[in-house]
Every structure is written in C-alpha cells, then in structure tokens.
Structure 1
Amino acid sequence: MAASSKLRVLGLYRALIRESRKFPSYNYREYAVMRVRDAFREHTGETDPNEIHRLLQKAQDTLEVIRRQVVIGHLYSSRKLVIEGEL
C-alpha cells in the first residue's frame, strides 16, 4: 500500500474513533469504538487495491452516519449511567 493510502486509512480510522467517542450514550459510544477497531483489524492485511478502495468508501460512509447519529443523540440525550461516574 502506498504511503498516501496508509495516511488516508490512518486519518479515517482516527476520525471514526474520535466521532464515536462523541456519542452521549455510553452503550452506543463503547459499541461504536469497538466496531471501528474490529473492522480495521479484520482488514489489516488487505492488499487488493479495489477492495481497499471499497473499504475506504464504506468507512467514509460510516463516518457520515456516525456524525449524524451523534447529533441526534445529543438532541435526545438522557441521564448518564452509573458506570460513567456522574449521575
């Protein structure tokens, strides 16, 4: 994989993790971070350029969905869970 592709993948990974951590709901936040990490680990050894392009496009689409869901989550947020510390 070219250096520019690696930088794009790393940037997309960081953006997905960063946005996932913005979920107001503990359960959604933890699930989203876990899914992002698992999906990137699953495809670590991918070498086919077409498949890499498809996966990057899918990740970009997922990032947009997460961004929208975070906004919606903040509109309808509820009390924090006990596991989060504050009540």
Structure 2
Amino acid sequence: MSASGSLKGTMSQKVLSLVNASLGDLVRSSLWRAGTTQYRQLLRQSKQFSAYNFREYAKRRTRDAFHENRGVQDKRLVEELVQKGLRELQVMKRQTVISQFYQLNRLVVEGGISGREGGERGDKVRQKDQG
C-alpha cells in the first residue's frame, strides 16, 4: 500500500509540476506577446514624429531598451517593464502630437529636397525664398 501510495504521490506531483510548467509557459508567452506588441506600438508611434532627430532617437531608445532587457526572466520585473513601456508609449503619443504642431522642412538625409514643401497634397515643390 505504501508503494502504491508513494507512486500516486509521485504521479500527482509530476502532473502538478506539468500543470505549473504549462501555466508558467502560458504566462511567459502572454508576457512575451504583450512585450512584442508593445515593441511594435512604440516603433510605430516613433514614426509619427515630424522631426528626423526625434524620430531616430525614439526608435533607437526603444530598440536599446528592449535589447537590454531581453533576457529578463523574473515575472514581476517583466510586468514592471511592461508598465514602464506603457507609460513611455503614452508620453510618446503626447509628444508626437506636439511635434506635429511645429513641423520643420524635411532634411536632406530624409530624402527631402532643398526648398520648402508645398502644393495641394503636400507634394514637394521647389520654392526659392525671395528676399
């Protein structure tokens, strides 16, 4: 009886450990999915900056932060990082709206031509400053 009792105990422990492992995998996969979704949202939002330097800075900062914290396994720390990312996304959304109020001419490195942007659809039209 003790042999079968210990066998049942080990079987239930194995089943319990498998359930815990699969739940852990599920939590990790959902956190991973949330992280990748957030990464894409941050990169997408960084493209909304009108100024080249701000755009590139936001992309670089997002990439660096995610690469730096790639190996984090602690669930609590990952949740804190996700919350921090959400706050950063909120800030970036506000800043992109503000940056669109103060648009500058596109730089040559962005594919802009010398002159100002104009035209009906925002096409690039060469306009020389007279003065």
Computed over aligned residues only, the root mean square deviation of the Cα atoms, in angstroms, reads 1.0
How high is the sequence identity, in percent, across the aligned residues?
A: 40
Structure with max Cα Rg: 2
Which residue number in structure 1 is paired with residue 58 of structure 2?
A: 32
Separation in structure 1 between the aligned mates of residue 56 and residue 106 of structure 2, nearest angstrom: 14
Q: If the length of structure 2 is used for normalisation, what is the TM-score?
A: 0.64
AA in 2 matched with 1:51 = L
AA in 2 matched with 1:44 = R
The gaps in structure 1 that reach 5 residues or longer are: none
Which residue number in structure 2 is paired with residue 6 of structure 1?
A: 32
Runs of 4+ in 1 over 6 A off after TM superposition: none
Name the SS for the 2:91 alignment partner. Answer: helix
Per the TM alignment, residue 85 of structure 1 is displaced from its structure 2 partner at its CA by 1.4
Separation in structure 2 between the aligned mates of residue 79 and residue 42 of structure 1, nearest angstrom: 34
**Is 1:16 equivalent to 2:45 in the alignment?**
no
Separation in structure 2 between the aligned mates of residue 55 and residue 5 of structure 1, nearest angstrom: 10
Per the TM alignment, residue 9 of structure 1 is displaced from its structure 2 partner at its CA by 0.5
Separation in structure 2 between the aligned mates of residue 23 and residue 48 of structure 1, nearest angstrom: 33
**Is 1:78 equivalent to 2:104 in the alignment?**
yes
Separation in structure 2 between the aligned mates of residue 39 and residue 61 of structure 1, nearest angstrom: 14
Separation in structure 2 between the aligned mates of residue 10 and residue 55 of structure 1, nearest angstrom: 12
Per the TM alignment, residue 51 of structure 1 is displaced from its structure 2 partner at its CA by 0.8
Separation in structure 2 between the aligned mates of residue 59 and residue 5 of structure 1, nearest angstrom: 13
Which residue number in structure 2 is paired with residue 59 of structure 1?
A: 85
Whose RCO is larger (CA < 8 A, sep 6+)? 1
Higher helix share: 1
AA in 1 matched with 2:56 = E
Q: How many aligned positions are there?
A: 87
> Retained in 1: the 8 A contact 2:31–2:78?
no
